[in-house]
Amino acid sequence: MVKVGVDEALSSELLAEFPAGVEVVRIPRTMAEGQRLDVDFWILPFARRNAEETFRHLRGVRVVQSMMAGVDWITPWIPKDVVLCDGRGIHDISASEWVLAAILAVMKRLPVYRDLQHKQEWKGFATATDNFLGEDGAAAGQYRVLGEDLAGKTVLIVGYGSIGAAIEARLLPFEVKVLRIARSARETPVVSAIGDLHRLLPEADIVVAIVPQTEETRGLIGAAEMALMKKGALLVNAARGPVVVTDALVNALVEHRIRAAVDVTDPEPLPAGHPLWTAPNCLITPHVGGSTPEFIYRAYRFGVAQLKRYLAGQPLENVVGEAGY
């Protein structure tokens, strides 16, 4: 009988669809010294900080199924003979909806107006300029420009995997032009290789980073890349904090060259007093993009499907190392 390791507090509702022929092993969040548990298939409970310590107490693990799309925090301590599968696809809905919400919030200046609401001040945005809005052109003398339309903008998605495709699907009804970048070029749809990043950055009004964190993507967007972006362009980081060079981002924001919306930072958690907190034109959320009530159901449905494949001797999906962004 296959022994499946799950978190000790996992709801019985999420276990209801587990197939027959498995023994569920509830793994304590804190393991006693010398405690050992036999587990064949470990469903890793999200981004548990003590996961590495827990793994040392497990014996016989053949498969580790992560519920997170990024597994850079797992790979350093998983032995090569253990199959590691990531949660690619599980996050598509929640992560892509966060990206869309962040873009619209910045375009419509919702953080600024929320700040004014807290002060009980009824003021148009022109009284708190961000150096990117003005009254030039046909608007001059007619009305104050207080926000922007997403329609007509060019969005560059850096990391065109399943989440990238989900982001595009949610953006297209807003009449945007989408440019795509992945590790290697593809033809349908047209996806450029990562080597084309510098060529495409100047074309984009919005740049969305959604790559996995690897040695290749660490520092992918730094000072040189930000210098290539349009003045006032929006950088959205929904990937991992180290994908964007923090010091370069702070400098670009302070100099009013670009704007940013980030769900991830480097370091993370972002410590009190860090200059990114007070950098202008920066929307920060504390790595909550994938945290929705619906997400856990999608996660465990996928885990059950993986477990059924394992029991049937079928190839597992999302095996780390078999596919890139």
Distance CA 61, CA 78 (A): 10
Nearest Cα to Cα of residue 58 among 69, 48, 44: 44
**Options 88, 259, 287, 298, the catalytic residue:** 287
Name the active-site residue from 57, 170, 218, 268. 268
CB neighbour list of residue 73: distance below 8 Å, 6 or more residues apart = 47, 51
Residues 6+ apart with CB under 8 A from 67: 43, 44, 45, 46, 87, 90, 299, 300, 302, 303
E strand map for the chain: 2-7, 22-27, 37-38, 41-44, 58-59, 63-66, 83-85, 154-158, 177-182, 192-193, 206-209, 233-237, 258-262, 282-284
CA distance 157 to 164: 6
- First CA to last CA distance, the chain: 36
Residue 240 is among the residues annotated as catalytic for this protein: yes
In the set 91, 109, 183, 240, the catalytic residue is 240
HSE-up of residue 194 (Cα within 13 Å, Cβ side): 17
Mark whether 317 is an active-site residue.
no
Examine the residue annotation and report whether 256 is marked as an active-site residue of this protein: no
Residues that are catalytic: 240, 268, 287
